Structure 1
Amino acid sequence: MDIRHVDLNLLRVFDAMLEHRSVSRAAEAIGLSQPAMSAAVARLRALFNDALFVRTGAQMQPTPRALALAPAVRRVMETVKSEILQAHTFDPATSERTFTLITPDIGEINFVPKLLARFVQAGPGLNLRTLAMPRHAAAEALESGEAELAIGYFPDLHKAGMFQQLLFRNPYVCIVRKGHPDVGDALTLKQYLALPHAAVRPGREHLFEEYLQRKGLRRRILLETSHFTSLLPIIESSDLIATVPHDMATVCVQHADIRMVDVPLKVPTIEVHQFWPRRFHKDAGNMWLRAQVYELFRE
């Protein structure tokens, strides 16, 4: 028997007949007219080449073939009801799901500790995995399901098919070591441009670079590095200055002999969002994760 030629709705008819042993009562139970139910029973008989249900007194009694089919049909119907038609919910207390986030290195420092603490509190089986990748690759990772949420500054994700939610605005500040011989409580633009700089590339810093280019301003970049976290020991042990997002500066101040100084320019502010693809928009687990992120990190 080729399943392509089988109307699976007939299994629902079979199950109703097995339960009610009456064409009229079975028809009422599944919302069919009695003629439609009689026609469906006839199709069942033709499909299995067996009478299946025969009248015995006031009831339609199952044949041996019907009784043999009954357990398998009941299992199918129970699976449909309990696993396919069941409303999808997410219970963090019992889930063993692993959530995968895309976030830069500074995102791991800022977001992961609080999010991990929330995971531990919500359920012992929850797991967290983070990925760092170029911005242009983030969309493909989300759309393919390799990751399900991105948190940070991802301008390439502001596009159709991708949902987003603003978390906070992140201004730029300068960081220098405490006791820097040339930097006091404030900087002039002339001082700022003359100082040796450490720059992070790639990273969110390119927004600042574009701003300087539009203004026709050039810094003396003595060092380029690939990670924001590399700046912490570099700035602390040198006379370099770095222009970084405020969240990165906060980490440096907390963990090293470093202080913040205002940038002597009206620099654009970074908008940090969480992004997720359409495929996860209605996923109960992803909805729970987004709610935690928003509650923990919203401005």
Structure 2
Amino acid sequence: MKRILYIHRIHAMDIKNVDLNLLVAFAAMTEQRSVTRAAESVGLSQPAMSAAVARLRLLFDDPLFVKTARGMQPTPRALALAEPVRRVMEAIKTEILPASAFDPATAAERFAIVTPDIAEVHFLPRILAHFVEAAPSCRLQTLSMSRHEAADALASGAADLAIGYLPDLQKAGFFLQKLFRNDYVCIVRRKHPAIGERLTLKAYLAASHAVVSPDGREHLLEQALQKRGLERRVVVGLSHFMSLLPLIESSDLVATVPRDLANICARHGDIRIVAPPFKSPVVEVHHFWHRRSHKDPANVWLRSLIYRLFSEAQRAGP
């Protein structure tokens, strides 16, 4: 009967009432068998250790350590608790307190990056090539969304990073790192009948243009043209940059696009790059992350990889 009542008292103990510091005191007492020595071993005063022992006795409803001629001897209850407490202390020391590490070679992480289609083409081939070598079990997902949605995705953890020209994310709660600068150039089909190696302002304004506005956003180029009082004859508006390649190849349209996209189009299509007849605005491309992920080892690894692969500073060297 006494055993049944004893078990009931233990099960009735509420974990909310357990101060983990008391387990430190218990472990010290188990090892030292002296209030004075136990206090010294954990950096407490003797009165503080005595108070901790008193709280332990109340918590476990047992004397735990009894004063004898041979020092403070543990009761049977204390001896039964010694090994479980040691395991808890070891788990806290080795599994909870240390910062978690990220080993890309063995990790199976799923990374999500907010980026427009232009950045998918620019960034993904090199990132995935590195994943094959360094992080073979990791997966990569790109997300296309508005700037407001991007902020929410980073804050909630639905996305790990956002890459691109995203001035709306330059605000409190977010970190950013500059990758490179991008200017604008014009692309036309290789055998365009009216545009040669050079493009005059008159010819530029007279041409038919294709304009890309992801999510309906106005870009720096539009703002720069408006400041100069220049208005293009826009024939077609697109929401995706990569729709330009077949369109420009098969028509006499002109598109003014970031240089990295122009290079991709020229590599993969019958496209020529022509300098615009005005000073191009410069876009700074950053990657962004939320403060909730700032010290996450997996996030640190991913953004370090992207910075190493794409930043101008890394390419330029010291």
TM-score band w.r.t. shorter chain: over 0.9
Question: Which of 60, 69, 78 in structure 1 is aligned with 2:90?
Answer: 78
1:291 aligns with 2:304: yes
Query: Is the 8 Å Cα contact of residues 22 and 60 (structure 1) preserved in structure 2?
Result: yes
Matched, 1:275 2:288: yes
Q: Secondary structure at the match of 1:168?
A: strand
Aligned to 2:78: 66
Q: Tell me, in whole angstroms, the C-alpha distance in 2 between the residues paired with 1:20 and 1:91.
A: 39
**8 Å Cα contact 1:13-1:37 kept in structure 2:** yes
8 Å contact kept, 1:21–1:59: yes
Q: Is the partner of 1:192 in helix, strand or coil?
A: helix
Q: CA deviation at 1:59?
A: 4.2
Letter of the 1:142 counterpart = L
- Aligned: 1:136 with 2:148: yes
**Deviation at 1:205?**
6.2
**Per-residue displacement from partner, 1:152-209 (whole Å, max 9, x unpaired)?**
1111111122111111110100001111101100111110111111111226762211
Partner Cα separation in structure 2 for residue 72 and residue 230 of structure 1:
64
Q: What residue in structure 1 maps to residue 106 of structure 2?
A: 94
> 2:271 aligned with 1:248, yes or no?
no
Task: Go from structure 1 to structure 2 and tell me whether the alpha carbon gap of 1:31 and 1:59 turns closer, same or farther (over 3 Å shift).
Answer: same
One-letter amino acid of the structure 1 residue matched with residue 293 of structure 2:
F
Asked whether 1:117 is paired with 2:141, we answer no
Aligned to 1:257: 270
Q: 3-state SS of the aligned residue for 1:296?
A: helix
Checking the alignment, whether the CA contact within 8 Å between 1:205 and 1:244 is kept in structure 2 is no
Aligned match of 1:198: 210
Structure 2 stretches lacking a partner, 5+ long: 1-12, 313-318
SS in 2 for 1:41: helix
Partner Cα distance (1:235, 1:57) in 2: 96
Aligned counterpart for 2:25 among listed residues 13, 30, 48: 13
Following TM superposition, by how much is the alpha carbon of 1:97 offset from its aligned partner in structure 2, in angstroms? 1.8
Higher mean alpha-carbon deviation, 212-221 vs 187-196, is at: 212-221
Aligned partner of residue 125 in structure 1, secondary structure: coil
Q: Output the aligned Cα RMSD.
A: 1.8
Q: Aligned ranges for residues 228-247 of structure 1 at < 5 Å?
A: 228-247=241-260
Write the letter of the residue equivalent to 1:27: A
- The one-letter code sitting in structure 1 at the alignment partner of 2:229 is G
SS in 2 for 1:50: coil
- Given candidates 16, 24, 37, the residue that maps to 2:36 is 24
Match of 1:53 among 59, 65, 73: 65
Task: Find the counterpart in structure 2 of residue 171 from structure 1.
Answer: 183
Who is 2:120 aligned against? 108
| Structure 1 residues without counterparts, runs of 5 or longer | none
TM-score by length of 2: 0.88
* Shift, 1:274, TM fit: 1.0
Aligned residue pairs: how many? Answer: 299
Bigger CA drift: 256-265 or 16-25? 16-25
Displacement of 1:248 after TM fit? 0.5
Separation in 2 of the partners of 1:286 and 1:56?
A: 56
* Percent of aligned pairs sharing the same letter: 64
Q: Could you tell me which amino acid in structure 2 is paired with residue 257 of structure 1?
A: D
**Post-superposition shift, 1:120?**
2.1
**Shift in Å, 1:279:** 1.4
- Alignment map for 1:215-230 (pairs within 5 Å): 215-230=228-243
Please name the residue that 2:4 is paired with.
none
